Amino acid sequence: MSRTIKLQDWAKEEFDEPVPSLPSLLRYAKNGMISPQPVKAGRCWRVERNARFIGLTTKPVVKKSDDQRLKRILEDGSST
């Protein structure tokens, strides 16, 4: 049995229905939202069987000079 599986097969095991679409899964893989990080092998992304979805690990930097609309989006409604 192999240590890694295809990204879509992993997603079926990791998430309940509805499973994220392929473009979303690719964005998760490219942006480091899965730990341990998936690797691209040939034409497909492969991920370890015990990998977990961790989401975003860093917050965007909000500057005082940013537009108010941008600040609202980046802060996601929080008032910190």
Per-residue pLDDT band at 60 (split at 50, 70, 90): confident
Per-residue pLDDT band at 26 (split at 50, 70, 90): very high
Q: Report whether the peptide linkage leading into residue 18 is cis, meaning its omega lies within 30 degrees of zero.
A: yes
- 1-80: CATH topology is Multidrug-efflux Transporter Regulator; Chain: A; Domain 2 (1.10.1660)
Give the ranges where 2-54 is alpha helix by DSSP (H). 7-14, 22-30
| Residue-wise pLDDT tens digits, 27-48 | 999 888 999 999 999 999 999 9
**Residue that is written with structure tokens 């899964």 in the block:** 25
Torsion sign, CA atoms 69, 74, 78, 80: negative
| pLDDT for position 56 | 77
- Is the confidence at residue 79, as pLDDT, over 60? no
pTM exceeding the 0.85 threshold for the entire prediction: no
What is the residue extent of each domain of the chain?
1-80
For residues 50 and 31, the answer to whether their CB atoms sit within 8 Å is no
- DSSP 8-class letter at 34: E
